[in-house]
Structure 1
Amino acid sequence: EILLTLSPGSLAASQGERVTMTCTASSSIRTSYLHWYQKKPGSSPCLLIYRISTLASGVLARFSGSRSGTSYSLTICSVEAEDVAMYYCQQWGSSPST
């Protein structure tokens, strides 16, 4: 089973700042099945980025995803108030999905 660790656990930013969060896998994820979800208060999680760096439909270009080894990053290049949310990473390249 692959353990995913997301850091930082929380962050504060001012509008317009660039923020990055990193999801580190305990071992290599087969293929590129690492995805990012955004959960806003009172809403269900929605897909933000899939397969490391592809933006889901309707997601603004200020969001981006990248990979370096077993570390996967989500960056918001110019954060807005509407980006206040919980962010989650998920892999399903290796069973079980985590």
Structure 2
Amino acid sequence: MITVSLLFVLGVNYQTVVTLEPSFSVSPRRIVTLTCGLSSGSVSTSHYPSWYQQTSGQAPQMLIYSTNIRPSEVPDCFSGFILGNKAALTITGAQADDESDYYYMLYMGSCISNL
């Protein structure tokens, strides 16, 4: 089983409440979709959602920025998109080395709200 955790870090805009899924486990080689949203309003491409992966003892690695752009060094099993009123990250064919903490970031105008 692979355990996936989404972590919340309080951003500058403390009035923004970000909703997220708790940690969960999945079987290897499954498709995993993580979603994050706002308690009030919808996430859109104008929030420039980005996703980061951090494995134990390592610096965070950017997986997705501006909703769906993947840096060239990131495997194509990671994809980002808007799902309903939330930002989503899909891991296609999840492997044991995908067990990590995943962070999510939204641009909120004059500040950044972190998850």
Structure 2 unmatched ranges of 5 or more: 1-12
Among 98, 104, 110, which residue is 1:83 paired with? 98
Query: Is 1:4 aligned with 2:4?
Result: no
Among 62, 71, 84, which residue is 1:56 paired with? 71
TM-score, structure 1 as length reference: 0.86
Most deviating of 29-38 and 52-61: 29-38
Root-mean-square deviation over aligned CA pairs = 1.7
Structure 1 unmatched ranges of 5 or more: none
Which runs of at least 4 in structure 1 moved beyond 6 Å after TM superposition? none
- Structure 1 residue 52: Cα displacement: 0.9
Q: What is the rounded CA distance, in whole Å, between the counterparts of 2:66 and 2:43 in structure 1? A: 11
- Structure 1 residue 5: Cα displacement: 1.8
TM-score, structure 2 as length reference: 0.75
1:38-57 aligned within 5 A: 38-57=53-72
- Structure 1 residue 66: Cα displacement: 1.0
Say which SS state the counterpart of residue 15 (structure 1) adopts.
Answer: coil
- 1:28–1:70 CA contact under 8 A, matched in 2: yes
Most deviating of 23-32 and 68-77: 23-32
- Structure 1 residue 78: Cα displacement: 0.5
- Count residues in correspondence: 97
Aligned to 2:52: 37
